[in-house]
Structure 1
């Protein structure tokens, strides 16, 4: 069996928090500006390269780029795009990371049309600037947006009971954007990113509801692939790369607290969740698109996720990388508290981010472990 070529320039990726939605109090967030990544992009990418990270997730701020329908001001993006090129960092660009222009109704057909046109315009710009087609995530975490914004009114569009309606239109938009980008930039790659979860019932009476909730995690991917609701325009060729987001609290007791990784009776090993996703969407490549935890457990959590990922890879799961997301610690969306979850801390010192040394040291150790494991797998696959 010939191994798949690596998707990314480095096994470990970094993600810049680029949320731009309106929060619970309906205040517009701009996490790229809040972390000063827009001003420090060159330094940020350079600093990542010092830690062996040559691939990153970053984002477009659609609400800044298209303030007038059909007219695009790329001045908020070009410094970041050019900085990545200068440092030779590969970027997966999120086209819609929770936020959109205020004049758009996210439930409307106009949202789909405007988003597809915006995606195509970006694809053309990317080719002009780099000579290459882009790697994009059209709509980040469609399932989470549908839950948080469509059912719980915790973020844009602040509605309740409309989660499925919202998910369907976001899927329509993602599919339309994929087609538009492919037409504008043949050879583009696409990451479809959503959380992997595992909910455990507290008692037998919750089993049916929990089964349905766990099954819903596949819905956006299945819709893009045309396996569910084919009237949305999905087909198998629309689903390219599977990105899974996995945090310390992605497994929980139904309507209760997160499960501990040490709760062996109820907590499913992450390698098993990865294997399930891989089997469902074979032979597509996967990667862990987001993972982190706050505070001192940062190194321990990264070690757990990485070692589980490598164990999955050793069993044949086509997993291509682990993304430290967010790579820069930041202030919370709704309460402005400091969230110490990054490899790099928020406040620069003399133009450089301060490094969280325990995480940096663990990352360096895991990079060696990953390189050795992946080299052994490639040799075995070539025998």
Structure 2
């Protein structure tokens, strides 16, 4: 989800650490311990704290379970995502989602507790009401959130007026997907269903705005294979996201080319209909240069090299924050992903610290519009809470 994405984005914008800072792993460990204590400590206090006056056996069992989860989470996350163990990643991701929901609703539960106190409800009844409410609401949100994450995304449709678009291209249908994140949970059947939905959308252009997978092309071959079955009249285009730079970015560009896509590695294609033309360009993710992979960087001038400056431009750029550079270059429409719409409320507010938009259509500068997808899949925790996934149909309209 956008949890790590936000942290990664902040790190990308920060200056490189000095050698002295790089030799202080204790600071990282201390921060990790502090976050873990906070995430698990608040739910423990809310559900099992002294004010609840539960029987000692209940407190003991609950404490052991929470302590075990607190130890298992960092171990599973580091083993799963650091050493590429899918089994450990599934455990860590699930624990992360569960504790996030319990933490958020424990905080909100304590607000409820304050209201009950003002209403004259005393402990232990007050604290027990809060504890039960947190468990019930948390369980309901996790069940619903898992359903939302694993379901085939809903189709979201909207018209986008591009003043420079020629009349021959009026009505061009761009189907946008992003953040499929094929990963530790085998979602090959889901991928096939998504492909079937897209093929029913009568696309002129299909665009994948990056973060295709967590894993190498060989690891996620079966999950990604349905992308090769997609049909578009004019073009199928793809750009890298930041997660490709953890897992063989060039390999994913090559794999998508093998599947029949135009991999827009700082390049463009021109599509034509009704005598009018549209430049469809793409840039590497903003993390590309920092990956150290030869030939990978975000290069908008390179992507537009040779393109007629009078033609309208549709640009694929994984992270919405690239829109600042796109607006300076006079790009007509940028399509992005990366944010997942926040994925698990209220994480959307943290995402907003790193990105200018969390989801939807927005205007930037005199000409540029940006559409930010809420994401087609999910990262990490198999939950989406108040942040639905989407397959987007953007119908391009000429000015009338």
Q: TM-score range by the shorter chain?
A: 0.3 to 0.5
RCO comparison, higher one (Cα < 8 Å, 6+): 2
Q: Normalising by the residue count of structure 1, what TM-score does the alignment of the two structures yield?
A: 0.35
Q: Normalising by the residue count of structure 2, what TM-score does the alignment of the two structures yield?
A: 0.34
